[in-house]
Amino acid sequence: MRSALLNVMVQAARKAARRLQRDFGEVENLQVSMKGPADFVSNADRQAEDTLREELSRARPGYGFVLEERGEIKGTDPNHRWIIDPLDGTTNFLHGIPHFAISIGLQRDDMIVAGLIYNPVSDEMFTAERGRGAFLNDRRLRVAARRDLSQAVIACGIPHNGRGDHGQFREELARVQAKAAGIRRLGAAALDLAYVAAGRFDGFWERGLKPWDVAAGLLIIREAGGVVSDIDGREPLLTGNIVAANEPIHAELSRELKAAARRA
């Protein structure tokens, strides 16, 4: 049984997702047009965000918003705000790769108290509420049990052209590559975090993420028994430098990333 709050979030996500999925079906046809699908996709992105805002405002009138596309909207309730990425994995979406998601986090004061990540293509709904566990659809989630980096599949984000410190990333990659069983880069940070919660990935790291990329995922991982922190020991929601895993892998991965930072 889902709580009333999660029901509200699930309903909003499903509604926005129907539209996103229709638009995703169109992207393939647009690949051949001269202008390309980029404008179309940013439109789809904004419309999904509008749908989420309308639905959530109707259900919880005073709450504020932090929206990737339209920025911050203050609510009359100073204690609650939604932190939303209406389309995480835009590059995948644009290229017809069916791996993208809607991410909704609810912040109460300084804490994330509810999170949802929904991949409409696979129809996988990852949810969590603080203190009540994490779920994939109706199934309870638990992070992976592997204890050694040598057996772990680790996901990461690769900073693209014009963003982040490429040299630092290459140092980090080299360290993790030398220790882990495998490395993945799937292109949607919210889903990377959801996959850690589901035990599909044993760990994940990325620098330079935004609050809407991580708000929901942080809680879902913690509620699945995992550890999420900033690579340098600060608050991950603020810095966007994330390392996430079960406890032993988190410790080992953090050690490698810190060693890489010293060399970079």
Output the smallest distance, CB 9 to ligand IPD, in A.
18
Phi-psi region of 138 (alpha: psi -120 to 50; beta: other; left: phi over 0): alpha
Structure tokens at 83: 């932190």
Shortest distance in whole angstroms from residue 162 CB to ligand IPD: 12
Task: Dig out the tokens for 44 from the structure.
Answer: 């789809």
In the complex with Ca ion, the residue whose CB is nearer, 75 or 208, is: 208
CA distance 94 to 185: 17
Least distance from C-beta 253 to Ca ion, angstroms? 22
Which is nearer to Ca ion, 23 or 68 (by Cβ)? 68
List the one residue from 171, 202, 213, 256 that touches Ca ion (CB under 5 A): 213
Residues 150-209 that bind Ca ion (CB under 5 A): none
* Residue 44 vs 129, nearer CB to ligand IPD: 44
Both tokens assigned to 257: 């990333």
Stretch that binds ligand IPD, among 1-9, 21-29, 181-189, 244-252 (CB under 6 A): 181-189
The answer to whether residue 55 forms part of the interface with Ca ion (CB under 5 A) is no
Pick from 105, 115, 120, 157: which binds ligand IPD (CB under 6 A)?
Answer: 157
Residues 6+ apart with CB under 8 A from 7: none
Of 23, 49, 55, 85, the residue at the interface with Ca ion (CB under 5 A) is 85
Q: Are strands 139-140 and 153-156 parallel, antiparallel or unpaired?
A: unpaired
- The size of the interface with Ca ion (CB under 5 A), counted in residues, is 5
Question: Per CB under 5 A, does 49 bind Ca ion?
Answer: no
Q: Are strands 64-67 and 80-88 parallel, antiparallel or unpaired?
A: parallel
Q: What is the DSSP letter of 133?
A: -
Considering the rule CB under 6 A, would residue 90 count as an interface residue with ligand IPD? yes
Q: Per CB under 6 A, does 85 bind ligand IPD? A: yes
* Amino acid, single-letter form, for residue 90: T
Whether the CB-CB separation of 101 and 45 falls below 8 Å is answered with no
Count of chain residues binding ligand IPD (CB under 6 A): 12
Q: With CB cut-offs between 5 and 8 Å by kind, which of ligand IPD, Ca ion, none does residue 89 bind? A: ligand IPD
Instruction: Tell me which stretch binds ligand IPD (CB under 6 A): 12-20, 183-191, 218-226, 242-250.
Output: 183-191
Query: Nearest distance from residue 161's CB to Ca ion, in Å?
Result: 17
- 3-state per-residue secondary structure call for 31-72: CCCCCCCHHHHHHHHHHHHHHHHHHHHHHCCCCEEEECCCEE
Give the residue from 165, 259, 251, 135 showing the smallest Cα distance to 203: 251
Distance of alpha carbon 18 from its chain centroid, rounded? 19
Among 23, 49, 55, 88, binds Ca ion (CB under 5 A): 88
Q: Which is nearer to ligand IPD, 59 or 97 (CB)?
A: 97
Q: Which SS3 state, helix, strand or coil, does residue 108 take?
A: strand
Q: Which residues bind ligand IPD (CB under 6 A)?
A: 85, 87-90, 157, 187-189, 206, 209, 213
